[in-house]
Amino acid sequence: MNIRNMLERFTGRMPCCSADALLERLKVYAGFVKIEHSVFALPFAYVGLFLAKRGWPGFAPFLLLTVAMVAIRSYAMGVNRLLDLVYDRQNPRTQGRELVRGALSPREGWVFVGVCGLVFVLACWGMNSLCLWLSPLVLFWAGFYSLTKRFTWLCHLALGSVLGLAPVAGWLSVTPEFNLATVLFGLGVTCWVAGFDVLYACQDAEFDRARGLNSMPVRFGVGGALSVAGLLHGGAVALFALAGWGAALGWGYFGVLILVAGLLWVEHRLISEKDLSRITMAFFTINGVVAATLFLGVLLDLFLLK
């Protein structure tokens, strides 16, 4: 059996060989897992990595961590899309998603998810034995969080905890022992992600309620959920401050943290119970800047102000 036939057997499609066709398929897969959302977790993984070495960690550790993080985030998003397909087909907001419009078949999606999981394990194997032993637990949790909205309104914290592993993973990738500062960074990321996920979930409050799904907007109403999101982001800033103190970072990092707090304040000013039209700006643009800015604050302390 040749490669073309094997691909057709597993994906249900005859692979196209032209460069344009290949590029289009890559775009479909990138859209399937929202590859641009890697900007949320990657900077925090680098925070853990650079703190572990108190500077540049070397090209090989940097590359291994990048591959592992992109693979596990793609795996988690892919599983989420596949498990939620039955709901996405009913939700007017999600009609453009690749599985819903047939640009990607569920079989292709599961094959892609499997490949991402394998790449993640291989990257962990290249790091150290602790990362390899922990990789199955990470795969389980990264896939399981998608089911939590079936039974709890704390599902946002479950998602946050998946991304909250990023700084801990960065540290463990080169120093196979746990560190308090990176755990505090991870808790901060958990609250930060849970907060903006609550904001995002406000769009689907009525849809989720009608189908028996759980979220903070369903449990507390949109107004109450916005208040909870504000508390989560306040907690995130406090935890980031404690993490910076635990990592012995200086005024450069804390100056940037004040800027991050300001960005989160602006995010909440953009959205109200009666006007959710700027969710996209608040969700992606501002939070992408938050992650990158905090990482730059760490770099500023490590390289310029040490």
186: CATH: 1.10.357.140
Residue 57 near residue 174 (C-beta atoms within 8 A): yes
Residue given tokens 């939070």 in the structure block: 287
Q: What is the pLDDT of residue 42?
A: 95
**Residue 192 corresponds to which amino acid?**
W
Q: What is the pLDDT of residue 231?
A: 97
Q: Is residue 15 part of a domain?
A: no
What is the domain extent for residue 116?
36-304
Q: Is residue 281 part of a domain?
A: yes
Q: What is the pLDDT of residue 16?
A: 52
Q: Is residue 40 part of a domain?
A: yes
Q: What is the pLDDT of residue 288?
A: 87
- CB-neighbour burial class of residue 286 (10 A; exposed 0-12, middle 13-18, buried 19+): middle
Q: Is residue 6 part of a domain?
A: no
Q: What is the pLDDT of residue 86?
A: 96
Residue 146 near residue 80 (C-beta atoms within 8 A): yes
**Residue 247 corresponds to which amino acid?**
A
Q: Is residue 272 part of a domain?
A: yes
pLDDT tens profile 219-231: 999 999 999 999 9
Cα gap 187→235, rounded to integer Å: 9
Residues of the chain with pLDDT under 50: 1-3, 6-7, 10
Q: What is the pLDDT of residue 40?
A: 87
Q: Is residue 216 part of a domain?
A: yes
Instruction: Write down the pTM of the prediction.
Output: 0.91
Q: Is residue 211 part of a domain?
A: yes
Strand, coil or helix: 130:
helix
Cα gap 173→50, rounded to integer Å: 11
* pLDDT over 90 percentage in the chain: 79
**Could you please report the per-residue DSSP string of 30-63?**
HHHTTGGGHHHHHHHHHHHHHHHHTS---HHHHH
Structural domain count, the chain: 1
Q: Is residue 19 part of a domain?
A: no
pLDDT tens profile 28-37: 999 998 888 8
